Amino acid sequence: MPKTSKTKFWLDIITKIANLFFKNLNAKKRKKTRNQHVVPHDKGWAVRGEGNEKYTATYKYQDDAIRRAKDIAQNNKSDLIIHRKNGTIRDRISYD
């Protein structure tokens, strides 16, 4: 392989690695949202903060879950995302 080809080859490899590194670095700098989701649950409905694995609370009725999630979203100046039984988004309300 000629010298210029080797140089281009290594430059391409280094560029790809650098791009991956900076892409991951920027992903970590994203602002964490405090959005609240009302989602279907085995016991009825649940409130879960965006990105959280654990539920904040569970309720028999969706209206009760919406009331709780609304309070949290208003306090955090974030969004309330209400899901249907099939998991799709029914409504989104912003309190920011």
Is residue 50 scored above 90 in pLDDT? yes
Domain count of the fold of the chain: 1
Task: Decide if pLDDT at 40 tops 60.
Answer: yes
Q: What percent of the chain has pLDDT over 90?
A: 64
Position 18 in a domain: no
Identify whether 84 is part of a domain: yes
83 pLDDT band, cuts 50/70/90, is very high
Task: For residue 30, name the pLDDT band (cuts at 50, 70, 90).
Answer: low
Which three-class secondary structure state does DSSP give residue 81?
Answer: strand
Is the residue at 54 inside a domain?
A: yes
Burial of 49 (0-12, 13-18, 19+ CB in 10 A): buried
Q: What is the pLDDT of residue 29?
A: 56
Could you tell me if residue 90 is inside a domain? yes
Is 84 within 8 Å of 38 (Cβ atoms)? no
Would residue 15 count as lying in a domain?
no
- pLDDT confidence bin for 6, thresholds 50/70/90: confident
| Residue 26, domain member (yes or no) | no
Question: Is position 13 within any domain?
Answer: no
What's the mean pLDDT in 11-15?
A: 84
Q: Which domain holds residue 53?
A: 36-94
